[in-house]
Structure 1
Amino acid sequence: MAYEKIMNVGFAIKDEKKGCIIIGGIDDDFSLDRLDIEEKNIIVKNSINEFVFEVKKVDISTSISGKINIGLRLIDSADFSKIVAGDEVFKII
């Protein structure tokens, strides 16, 4: 399976209304032009495991420093609780 790194997880939250969300700063080598992942799957990897999630919605914003932040709303999954800050997020190609 081919994939491309989007970002590292800054934090993951589970909101009652919005659902499962991961937020992080876009990787320097990733272009927003390739951020066509809404209603597609992503991979979240840590040093031990690899999890596949379906993206429900993508939100883009800027930080105070001017960097691009991405918020990914995911379809609810039992594996969501295993996501921690620092995990890597990849787009499946």
Structure 2
Amino acid sequence: MEFVMAIADVFDIPGIGKVIMGGNPGITKNDTSKLCRKGQNIIIITQNGEFTFKVLDIRLSLSIAETVIIGIHLEDSEDFHRLKAGDLVYKI
């Protein structure tokens, strides 16, 4: 498993779906090789266990300090409500 990001926020956006956002200082606008890809499965490690999700889409944006903010749209799952800020995302 390779570390992708720490979750900073979790959203259920009407009309879009389940989204997690976060960051990783090892991912820059010039090097996104550590990111997961669309269609790939990821593992999210929480205090209550490990959960697998399928990635539907990934969006990147830049903060004012030019750090990469990662948004990952996840396939709907009954485990989504278990996710919270601080959980760790890994690509399989």
Give the equivalent residue in structure 2 for 1:7. 5
Task: Compute the displacement of 1:65 (Å).
Answer: 1.8
61-70 or 80-89, larger mean C-alpha shift = 61-70
With structure 1 as the length reference, what TM-score do the two structures score? 0.88
Mapped contact 2:8–2:21 kept (Cα < 8 A): yes
Structure 2: stretches of 5+ with no match in the other structure: none
Structure with the largest fraction of helix? 1
Whether the aligned pair in 2 keeps the contact of 1:43 and 1:90 (CA below 8 Å) is yes
Distance 2:60 2:27 in 1: 17
Q: When the two structures are superposed, what TM-score results if normalisation uses the length of structure 2?
A: 0.88
Is the Cα–Cα contact under 8 Å of residues 5 and 27 in structure 1 kept in the other structure? no
**Residue 48 of structure 1: how far off its partner (Å):** 3.2
| Residue identity matched to 1:47 | Q
Paired positions, count: 90
Structure 1 residues 34-73: aligned runs within 5 Å: 34-73=34-73
Ranges in structure 1 where 5+ consecutive residues have no aligned partner: none
Task: State the distance in 1 between where 2:62 and 2:41 align.
Answer: 24
Instruction: Answer yes or no: is the 8 Å Cα contact 2:27–2:68 preserved in 1.
Output: no
What RMSD, in angstroms, separates the aligned Cα atoms of the two structures?
A: 1.7
Give the whole-Å Cα distance in 2 for the aligned partners of 1:72 and 1:51: 15
Determine if the alignment matches structure 1 residue 24 to structure 2 residue 9.
no
Is 2:80 aligned against 1:80? yes
